[in-house]
């Protein structure tokens, strides 16, 4: 797939992992979807595939295991097996490596820095006819 397939409207965008790419590797989400407050990628890992060790200078990351099982190994030497639906938060300077277990895996990773925006949701206008 050469260009990500994203449907956009005024203040929103819609796509899917399949529409953002194919094969194993990164599906860039931030730019095609128009995100500005945080980074996001989905990654498809082949069977029993280890990623490289890495850490970040500034951004913390939240991982969501969408499909399969992933082992997370941290700089302290511990390894944790995380199943579908599992969540893992990692501080910026914490070294981490991921490895798909078994048939491969898909995960979503969201990264950012500089804080949380407190609850700021407000009711929108009532749609016509309701």
Contact 34, 106 (CB under 8 A): no
Whether the per-residue pLDDT at 3 is higher than 80: the answer is no
**Domains delineated in the chain:** 7-112 (2.60.120.10)
Full DSSP string of 67-117: EEEEEEEETTS-EEEE-TT-EEEE-TT--EEEEEEEEEEEEEEEEE-S-PP
Higher pLDDT, residue 66 or 120: 66
Place of tokens 């206008």: 125
pLDDT attached to residue 103: 93
pLDDT attached to residue 2: 55
Which tens digits make up the pLDDT trace of 64-88? 999 999 999 999 999 999 999 999 9
Predicted model pTM:
0.89
Full DSSP string of 6-21: -EEETTEEE--HHHH-
Whether the per-residue pLDDT at 1 is higher than 60: the answer is no
């Amino acid at each position: 797939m050469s260009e990500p397939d994203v449907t956009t409207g005024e203040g929103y965008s819609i796509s899917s992992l399949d529409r953002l790419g194919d094969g194993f590797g990164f599906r860039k989400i931030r730019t095609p979807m128009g995100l500005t407050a945080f980074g996001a990628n989905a990654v498809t890992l082949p069977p029993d595939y280890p990623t490289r060790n890495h850490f970040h200078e500034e951004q913390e990351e939240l991982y969501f295991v969408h499909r399969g099982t992933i082992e997370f190994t941290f700089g302290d030497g511990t390894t944790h097996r995380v199943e579908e639906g599992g969540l893992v938060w990692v501080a910026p300077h914490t070294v981490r490596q991921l490895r798909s277990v078994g048939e491969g895996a898909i995960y979503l990773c969201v990264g950012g820095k500089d804080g949380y925006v407190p609850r700021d949701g407000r009711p929108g206008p009532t749609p016509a006819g309701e």
